Amino acid sequence: MNKTIEKAQKKLDLISMNDEDYRMYEMREMAHYDEITLKHTATQKGIKIGRKEGIEKGIISVAHNMKKANIPIKDISKFTKLSIEKIEKL
């Protein structure tokens, strides 16, 4: 069926609904949009967490390489903002 006709049919169906059916339709639509919003929010949170973890791993890798290059631990801590204890464990 043609997309325009499908759209028109949906609108006709909506305006033909009784009050109870229309309320049920609205509830389903709201639930659907809530689910989309929830998934989007979860995705964004996952991306944010992933970036943070990636940055932390990068900093640890740099600190590890600096330590292997015999750069003083105080300097490594100063540049990476990692604690001296954490750097000593690398």
Give the integer Cα–Cα distance in Å for 43 and 37. Answer: 10
Give the integer Cα–Cα distance in Å for 87 and 75. Answer: 11
Give the integer Cα–Cα distance in Å for 52 and 68. Answer: 24
CA-based radius of gyration for the chain: 28
CB 87 within 8 A of CB 67: yes
Give the integer Cα–Cα distance in Å for 90 and 85. Answer: 9
pLDDT by residue for the chain (90 residues), tens only, comes to 688 988 888 888 888 889 899 999 999 999 999 999 999 999 999 999 999 999 999 999 999 999 999 999 999 999 999 999 999 998
Give the integer Cα–Cα distance in Å for 41 and 49. Answer: 12
pLDDT attached to residue 24: 92
pLDDT attached to residue 38: 96
